[in-house]
Amino acid sequence: MEKPRIGVFVCNCGTNISHIVDTEAVRAHAQAQPDVVVATSYRYMCSTPGQETIVKAIQEHQLNRVVVAACSPRMHEKTFRGACRHGGINPFLFEMANIREQCSWVHQDRLAATEKAKSLTTAAIHRVRHHRPLNSLSAEMCPTTLVLGGGIAGLTAALELADSSNDVVLVERTDALGGNLARVDLTAPHLDSARDLLTEKLTRIASNPRVTVLLRSELVALSGFVGNFTATIRGPGGNGAGPERQVRVGNVVVATGYQEFDAGRITHYGHGKLPNVVTSFEFEQMLRAGRIETRDGRLPQYAAIIHCVGSRNREFHPYCSRVCCMTALKYAHELKSANPACYVSDIYIDMHAFGKGCEEFYKATSEVKTLFLMFEKNEHPVIRRAGPGEDCDMLIEVNERLSGERIEIPADLVILMVGVEARSDAAEVARLVNISQDREGWFMESHPKLDPVATTTDGIYIAGTCAAPKDIPDSVAQARAAAARILARISKGRIEIDGVFAEVDEDRCSGCRICNELCPYSAIEFDEGKRRSHVIPAACKACGACVAACPSGAITGHHFTAEQIHAQIDGVLA
Amino acid sequence: MATNKLQVAIYWGAACGGCDVAVLDTNEFILDLAAAADIRFWPIAVDGKYSDVEAMADGELDLALFNGAVRNSENEHVAKLLRKKSKVLVALGSCAHMGGIPGLANLATKEEILLTAYLANPSVEPGNQTIPQARTAIDGMTLEIPYFFKRVFRLADVVDVDYFLPGCPPAPVQIRNVLLAVVKGELPPRGSVVGASDRALCDDCPRTKSEKKLKAFHRPYEIVQDPTRCLLEQGILCMGPATRSGCGVRCPNSNQGCRGCYGPLPGVTDQGAKFLSALASIIDSKDPKEIDEILAGLPDFIGLAYRFGLPASTLQRSYR
C-alpha cells in the first residue's frame, strides 16, 4: 500500500460549528497527526470555493486520502466524494467526521465539544488510512414491468409505461379490472361518473398490445434483484393450483389497493341485524342500480349518514380514511337529488375537506339543507328500532357537541361510512416482494415525504391505497410517479450499483447458511452445487446484517471492514 | 550435543493431560518420532528436570510443544524458558491456543477460586483454614511455591508463539501432520494456525443445512434428533459455524453440537461474540417476551460460547 498522504478539512459551517467547537484547535490537532500532509479550516467546506480548496489541495500535495470534519455524512458525503473525484482520487478514499450534529449542535461546553471534535476527527484519520478504492458496478435493466393490481393505480401505471413502448404484465386476482373504483357510482367532489373514468382506461388497456393482462392470477414468487427479477405467476384453475408461468421483469409496481372496514365489527351499529343499516359500498350499489330504497322497497323519508366507521377510533383504526367525508357529502347530494323531500342527517366527528374543490363541495352540501350533527371522537351514536307510533324505521341518539345536547334523529336508512384498511393478504404480498408494512399494515415508502413511491427494496414501487388511504387523484399521481421513476431507469438501459456492498469470500464460507434468511433485501443466494452463499451486489444495501452474523467472518462489508471500524475505534480512544 | 536428530521438548502448563495423551494417540507414529527425534524433555513421559532445560544453549531445541494455559508463575517460567531454548514453539491444544477450559476461571477472581478450592468446598476437611501461600516460613526457613496469577493467560500472552495447533485435544492425525511438516521443514509463515482448516466445521459436516430459524433451544437428550439434519436447525447448540474445522467433525458425528475447541476462523478475534451475533440473528421472533423465553433455553451462554476462548476474547476476564 502506498504511504497515506492525508488532507484534513475542518468546516466552520458559518458559525454552526465554530460557535461551540474551536475549529482552529481541531485543525491544529489534525495537522499534528501522522500522515496528515495538510489541514485547513474554512467557513463553508460544502460551498464551491470550499470544494475547490479540497480539489486544489489533492493536486498540490498529492493527497491520496481526504478527511472532512463537518456535518453528517447524510448531508454532504456525496458532495465531498464528488470533490475527491474532481481532485483525481477515488471517492471512497474519503471519510467524514461529524462535528456538527454530534458536537456543536448537542453540546454547550466549548472545551468538551472541541475535545470530542478532535477525537472524532482523529478517528476519521485513523479510519481513512485503511480505505480502499471502490468502483461501482452495473447490471442490465429489463424493460418489462410487473404491475400487481388492476385498480385505478395499477391501470394508470400500466398505461403510462406501455404508452412509452414498454412491456407491462398486469396481474389481477379477481376476474375483472377496475378494483374498488368499479364499485363506485359518482366521485366527489365533481360528481364525475366512476364508470366513465374507468372505461377510458380499460379501453386503452384492451387495445394496447404492450400490456398483458392476467386475470384471476397472482404472484407466487419473486426472485432476483432490480432490473433482473423473475416473477412466478399462477393462473386460474385447479383450485388455487393453476398453471404457473415465469416472467422476467425489471421493476414491480405494487398497487394492490385496500379493503373496506367490516362494519359488523362495530356491533352497536347493528349492521347485518338492522335491515336498513347499510355500508357506503352497499349504498353505492343502490346508486349504481339507480334505486335508493329501504329493504322493503320504500323511498326513505329520513336518511342518516354516520362518519368514521372504523376510522379515527382507538378501538379500530386510529387514522383518518381520507375519502369518506367527501363521499358522505356526495351521498347527501345524491339523496337530495333523488328525493328532494328526504331529510338527510350527516353525523360526523370533524369534516375533513382538505382536497381541491372539497371545502366548496362541503359548503354547497350544507346549502342543500343537510342537517350536520357533530359527535365526540371515541364516542358513537346509538341506533335503535323506532316504536310502532313513530313515522320512521329507526331512531339515532347522538350527544351533539356543538349544542351540548342529546339529540334524537329519525332514520329509515342509515349509511355507515366504512373506513379503508390494509388488505388482509397485505402481509403475504409484502413478503413476496420483500417490502415492509407499518403497524396498520400499509406498505412503507422509502421516505414518507421525499421518496413516497419507492420502497426499501430497489425496483419495487408502491402506488395507490396499498400504501395509505388516499383519493383517486392522489392514487393516479402516485401511479404516474412510480411509472416515471421506472421509465427513468429503463431509459438508462443499465443500472449503476454502488461500490459499497457485502461480499462473501467463497474460500472462507462453509455453507452454514446462517446468513441466508437474514437479508432484508433478499440479496443472499445459496449455491446448492458449490454449497456456498453469495451476495448479489445489485440487491445489497450494505446494511451489514450478514456481515455481523457470519460466524466464520467470511462476509466483508466493503467500506465497513473490521479493520476500518477497529481503526476508527482506536482513533476515538487515541 | 552434536546430532542430526530433531531435538524436541513437550510440556504442559495449566492442562488436563489430554494433549499429552493425544500425542501418544498418534500410535505407532510416536515410535517413528522417537527414532527421528531426541525427546529431551517431556514431564509426563520422560524423566527430566527444569535445570536440564536451563542448562541447554539458547535455540538448542528444534521444537517445543507447549500445551496448557498459563495460570501460575511456574507455567510462565517454563514457557519463557522453552521459548528461549527452542527454534520453533508451538501452542498445542485449546488451552495454549486460547486459554481453554482453565480460562473459564477468568469469570471468577483469584480469591474466589482459592476460597472455593481450599475453604468452602464440601470436600474440604471441616475447620481447614489453610490456603497455599507463595512463601511460607517454617523452622526459620522460607518455602516457595509457584504463585497463582490473578487470571489465566494463553501462551501467546506471555511469549512469542510460532504456531498454534488447536483442539481439545488436537486430533492425533493433525499432530502427526504438523510434526511431519516440522521434520520436512514445510511450515507455513510464523504466527499461523496449523493442523486446522481455514473454513468452518460446517464445511466438513455431512449433515444437510438449510435456512435457519430458531424458536427454541434443546439439550441433546430433550429431543429425538434427525441424524442427517444440521444440529443448530434442530435447536441443538452447535458452535460449528463459528469454529475452524480440522477435528474430523468429531462431535456432530457423535450427535453432539460442536463445542468450539478449534477456535475462531481466520480474521475473527472473538469466537463467542461471533457465535452470539449469529445466534441472535437466527432467533425467529420479534416479540420481546417470546425472545426472553427462547433465551431462557441458554442457561450458560458464556460457558458455551467461550468454553475454550475466554482469555483470548475481547472480554478476557470479568472485572470486579
What residue numbers bound the domain in which A533 lies? 498-558
Rounded to whole angstroms, the Cα distance separating B209 from A75 reads 43
If asked whether residues A286 and A170 sit together in one domain, one would say no
CATH of the domain at A518: 3.30.70.20
Tell me which chain A residue has its CA closest to the CA of residue B240: A512
pTM to 2 decimal places: 0.71
Write down the ipTM of this complex: 0.84
Which domains are assigned to chain B? Answer: 6-101+152-184 (3.40.50.700), 109-149 (no CATH), 201-312 (no CATH)
B264 touching A, CB under 8 A? yes
**pLDDT > 70 fraction of chain A, expressed in percent and rounded:** 100
CATH of the domain at A127: 3.40.50
If asked whether residues A269 and A408 sit together in one domain, one would say yes
Cα A290 to chain centroid distance, Å, stands at: 38
In this structure, is residue A571 part of a structural domain? no
Residue at a domain's end among A397, A419, A441:
A419
B208 touching A, CB under 8 A? no
Bridge partners of A343, per DSSP, are A302
If asked whether residues A490 and A519 sit together in one domain, one would say no
Residue at a domain's end among A419, A436, A469:
A419
Distances (CA, A) of A557 to A554, B187, B306: 10, 32, 25
Residue at a domain's end among A463, A494, A525:
A494
Minimal CA separation from B95 to chain A, in Å: 21
If asked whether residues A274 and A414 sit together in one domain, one would say yes
In this structure, is residue A302 part of a structural domain? yes
Taking CB atoms and an 8 Å cutoff, what residues of chain A touch B268? 551-553
Q: Tell me: pLDDT of A225 over 70.
A: yes
A152-161, A306-315, A366-375, B150-159: least confidently modelled range: A366-375
pLDDT of residue B164: 98
If asked whether residues A285 and A392 sit together in one domain, one would say yes
In this structure, is residue A204 part of a structural domain? yes
If asked whether residues A434 and A510 sit together in one domain, one would say no
pLDDT per position in chain B (320 positions), as tens? 446 789 999 999 999 999 999 999 998 888 888 888 999 999 998 888 999 999 999 999 999 999 999 999 999 999 999 999 999 999 999 999 999 999 999 999 999 999 999 998 888 888 888 888 999 999 999 999 999 999 999 999 999 999 999 999 999 999 999 999 988 889 999 999 999 999 999 999 999 999 999 999 999 899 999 999 999 999 999 999 999 999 999 999 999 999 999 999 998 989 999 999 999 999 999 899 999 999 998 889 999 999 999 999 988 988 76
- What does the DSSP 8-state code read for residue A335? H
In this structure, is residue A50 part of a structural domain? yes
If asked whether residues A361 and A483 sit together in one domain, one would say no
Which residues of A touch chain B, with CB atoms under 8 Å apart? 507-518, 526, 531, 545, 548-554, 562
pLDDT of residue A392: 93
Mean confidence (pLDDT) of chain A: 94
Rounded to whole angstroms, the Cα distance separating B272 from B264 reads 8
For A307-339, how does the pLDDT look when each residue is reduced to its tens digit (9 = 90+)? 999 999 989 999 999 999 999 999 999 999 999
CATH of the domain at A160: 3.50.50.60
If asked whether residues A155 and A174 sit together in one domain, one would say yes
If asked whether residues A532 and A413 sit together in one domain, one would say no
Q: In sequence order, which ranges of chain B are alpha helices (DSSP H)?
A: 18-24, 29-36, 50-54, 73-85, 93-98, 110-115, 155-158, 172-184, 271-282, 288-295, 301-305
Minimal CA separation from B177 to chain A, in Å: 22
Give the total number of structural domains in chain A: 4
If asked whether residues A371 and A338 sit together in one domain, one would say yes
In this structure, is residue A574 part of a structural domain? no
What is the mean pLDDT of the segment spanning A520-529?
89
Q: Tell me: pLDDT of A413 over 90.
A: yes
Strand ranges of the sheet holding A218-225, from the earlier edge strand across to the other edge: A218-225, A228-234, A244-249
Task: Judge whether A508 and A554 are in contact, CB under 8 Å.
Answer: yes
In this structure, is residue A97 part of a structural domain? yes
In this structure, is residue A153 part of a structural domain? yes
B241 touching A, CB under 8 A? yes
- What does the DSSP 8-state code read for residue A478? H
B18 touching A, CB under 8 A? no
